[in-house]
Copies of this chain bind each other. A is one copy, B any other.
Amino acid sequence: MISEHDRIINTLKQTDLFEKSKDSFINELVRQSRIIEAPKGKILFSQDDNAEYFYIIQSGWVKMFRETLDGTQAIIDIRSSHDFIGETAIFENYVYPYSAEAIEPANMIIAPLSTLHDELKNNAIFSLHMLHLIARQKRHQDHEIEHRSLQNAPQRIGCFILQLIPNENKKTREGLTIHLPYDKTLIASRLGMQPETFSRALSKLKNETDIVIKGASVKINDMDKLIGYTCAACSSIFPCNNMTSKNKCENV
């Protein structure tokens, strides 16, 4: 039986942000943190709320989004284990610049922004490390913008699927079966399209690339064929190290 204290420490040490932090800081952070469990649909915070805490995801999926007066949502990103959320409020006068909602049941560590902020002020290496991570998120967004302007709907879905492939399999390029991590409707809006478009685009992708869809499972028979179709309209070359929870920051 592992104590909550130890669980928090384990998670923090697996988080890119804290992987190089000294135990003294980790312990300090743990003292001020607690674990929360969010059911599907739970709103963690809303855009323009005052911000005291940031979140480190242990498991589950969380969407970051903004919405207009008429309720239309724009999804900024969807994050999963070992990602952090809400930390940029430090630079926004401690106001969250977006809303966050658990879209699959999520376990998270919730920790005070002030502790993070203090460490950033005092520890240049840590600041630089976080700068590194944010700079990569930014590059990731550059690609996202590019994808939305150059790729069509089936290609965007293909790209999404390719990013779900574990790194080992990316190297061997052997066929495998992967599972869509959350609702297709959500994937659709993550990719900036309507659910109906997603459905039709997915079956077009199926016809073009010999993948087999069964519910949320996607069987890739010929990865090169999928890559050839998907990455034709992209400036990067597969495997494009497009940051996901599993394979980000390989070159740190």
Contacts and interface: CB of A to CB of B under 8 A. Distances in A.
A141 B144 CA distance: 10
A185 B91 CA distance: 34
Interface in A186-235: 192, 232-235
Nearest to A148: B148
A145 B146 contact: no
A216 B246 CA distance: 48
Interface in A22-69: 47, 66-68
A76 B146 contact: yes
A142 B97 CA distance: 10
B150 A68 contact: yes
A98 interface: yes
Given A66-B142, A124-B123, A148-B145, A74 B135 contact: no
A144 B66 CA distance: 12
A128 B98 CA distance: 21
**This chain: copies in complex:** 2
A146 B235 contact: no
Interface in A114-144: 120-128, 130-132, 134-139, 141-142, 144
Contact of A234 (B68, B136, B145, B234): B68
Contacts of A98: 142
A88 interface: yes
A251 B232 CA distance: 42
Contact of A138 (B67, B137, B233, B235): B137
Contacts of A135: 88, 90-92, 134
Given A76-B142, A98-B142, A142-B97, A131 B68 contact: no
A76 B67 CA distance: 24
A3 interface: no
The interface centre, meaning the residue of A88, A148, A235 with most chain B CB atoms within 10 A of its CB, is: A235
A194 B97 CA distance: 31
Contact of A120 (B72, B124, B148): B124
13 contacts: A66-B142, A67-B235, A72-B150, A76-B142, A88-B138, A91-B131, A92-B135, A92-B139, A97-B139, A122-B124, A130-B131, A134-B134, A145-B145
Given A74-B146, A134-B135, 9 more contacts: A68-B233, A88-B138, A91-B131, A91-B135, A120-B131, A121-B128, A124-B126, A131-B134, A134-B134
